[in-house]
Amino acid sequence: MIEKLSNMSRIYKQLILMSVDSVLLVVTLLAAFSVRLGEWHFPKSDLELALAIFSAPAVAIPIFIYFGLYRSVIRYMSFKDVRAIVQAVSLYALVWGVIGFMAAVEGIPRSVILINWLLSLVVIGGLRVVLRQLLGGGLRLSSVKNIVSSDQKRVLIYGAGSAGIQLSSALEHTFEYKPVGFIDNSLELEGSQIRGLRIYSPDSDVGKLIEELKVSEVLLAIPSISRARRSIIINQFESYPVVVRSLPGVADLAQGKVSVADLRQVSIVDLLGRDVVQPNQDLLGKNISGKVVMVTGAGGSIGSELCRQIVSLKPKTLVLFEISELALYTIEKELSVANIDIYPILGSVNDTKLLSQVLKHFEVNTIYHAAAYKHVPMVEFNNTEGVNNNVLGTLKCAQAAIDAKVETFVLISTDKAVRPTNTMGATKRVAELILQALAQRQNNTQFTMVRFGNVLGSSGSVIPLFTKQIKENGPITITDKNIIRYFMTIPESVELVIQAGAMGKGGDVFVLDMGEPVRIDELARKMIHLSGLEVKDDNNPNGDIEIHYIGLRPGEKLFEELLISDNVSETEHSLIMRAEENFIEYKELQVTLLEMEAAIDKGDQATLRRLLVKVVFDFKPQCDIADLLYKR
């Protein structure tokens, strides 16, 4: 019956509720007279009194309609609806009494008006409370939609503040989750109850609590918490087989609306516990606002995020330079809604003529050079193209910028350029050396390099790989148990790149504060646990996901560094440092670059390796030449 009522049209529900209210109002009036007279009273012979009693709905229903009692959705009834019920019933009881006395109806004691008011409040209000429980799922009736409580996910809500209370209220209207308690830091709240749910202290035995309450998920309902604090809370549940989800930030809750749909799986960003520093708006807009900006590699992970943030800073024009047609189409389509001129240019950074034409035609002021091959094993297997793109492509792009009198040129570099063990890192260090050398011999273009580590979610990174492997029930593959990496989100890294580029004076190498390094093995284990699964190993043979160690790949090293020397100074941004690195004069470097170009033309990988070792003094190859075209 409840299911049929739920499926009825809105108008039918309103008519049924009006009919039920009408019957209850008459019964309530009869009950009021009976209470006053001390016996069941029904006016059989008094026609006027009977008419007064049975006309009660005619007085009440218009008042109820005026106060919106039939417009509100009962399953989502709030305090405002309760207040409307009290106001409507009070006015009805008063109007009915006044009409009765004005009509001089005999047999209406004055106390009946008060009794009728009280009983009507209980009956009319009580009816809606019962319906709210039935329709809203508060009673968890297993007959509705054939859902039984055993199918529900039993959840603990971390945070008994306003967001937590709203969340528990929202969960009452679902059959997917069943709140079983709160966890909150407040000592005053410990042991008390909210909405019938007990509040526990985070210092209590969490494992025992999860086992006793049969908890399968923990919902973080503290939207204003810092990432560092969030990381501490998440680590508290890491060793237990529960899924941890969280509410979005305060900005998303500005309207006070919390729904189950707002819950999201705890992200790797939450695991890192890294708080974002507010950007310097003057630095962000210095090289972008009102200027013509070009991004090379515009369709890549870093390049595309650069484009998004650049658009928000209101440039005069944005030129998207990309070799991949699909990547260029994708980012151009995404940004097409922006109210600025955007031009997609399909081409290679090795095409000197095209670069020169583009820079001069659009009169480019600022270049962000993100075009590079960055996947370490892939570059090892394709040495010549790696050097051709990362080294010679940077050289040609920089020379074209000088010729076109581009004001600012910012190179996106990498921590792998520091004491490199692979070809990719060596080529990025050579790219840095090129810009350092060019900065010393001309004043047309200001060259800046920004060096940082791994970014979360970029193509080829471990996070998407681990997520995919967990969804496929494993195993998770890790190259070495002791491998560590620095991580930063793509938006944060790009925001810092833009600010660092604005601080350059010519030939500067900036390094970003990447926070604490992360052990990849620990990262994988956290991701498994927070997916509600367990690691399968010798200590836990009944676990869900295995971890396989497959050995370091060609060119890979156990840890990355951001500085070659210790000569580093602070800048006006707390997360950006200026490094003083040695460089090579352009005349000396130019000879090596010409030899590299000749070796690429011949496909001479051995000479390329020798030249990279020669120019990058601390390049210590981790493996022999692995180019797929190399003939030993």
For 518, the 3-state DSSP assignment is strand
How far, in Å, CA of 589 to CA of 520, rounded?
37
Is residue 163 within 8 Å of residue 247, measured between CB atoms?
yes
Cβ atoms of residues 464 and 248 within 8 Å: no
Buried b or exposed e, range 73-92, using 16+ CB within 10 angstroms: ebbebeeebeebbeebbebb
Q: How does DSSP assign 71-82, residue by residue?
A: TS-GGG--HHHH
Q: How far apart are CA 115 and CA 398, in angstroms?
A: 90
What is the spatial distance between Cα 378 and Cα 126, in angstroms, rounded to a whole number? 70
- Long-range contacts, stretch 108-114, CB < 8 angstroms, 24+ apart: 108/49, 108/52, 109/36, 111/36, 112/29, 112/32, 112/33, 112/36
Alpha-carbon gap, residue 283 to 428, rounded angstroms: 25
Enter the tokens of residue 421: 């063990």
Report residue 362 as tokens: 């659009």
Active site residue 416: yes
Q: Is residue 33 within 8 Å of 111, Cβ to Cβ?
A: no
Catalytic residue among 286, 416, 526, 557: 416
Where does residue 161 rank: exposed (0-12), middle (13-18), buried (19+ CB within 10 A)?
A: middle
Task: Determine whether 177 is exposed, middle or buried from the number of CB atoms within 10 Å of its CB (0-12, 13-18, 19+).
Answer: buried
What phi and psi, each to the nearest 5 degrees, are found at residue 417? -80, -10
Q: Does an H or E element contain 503, and which?
A: helix 490-503
Q: How far is CA 357 from CA 208, 327, 345, 364, 416, in A?
A: 69, 22, 11, 11, 32
For residue 389, the Cα-to-chain-centroid distance in whole angstroms is 34
Residues annotated catalytic, as ranges: 416
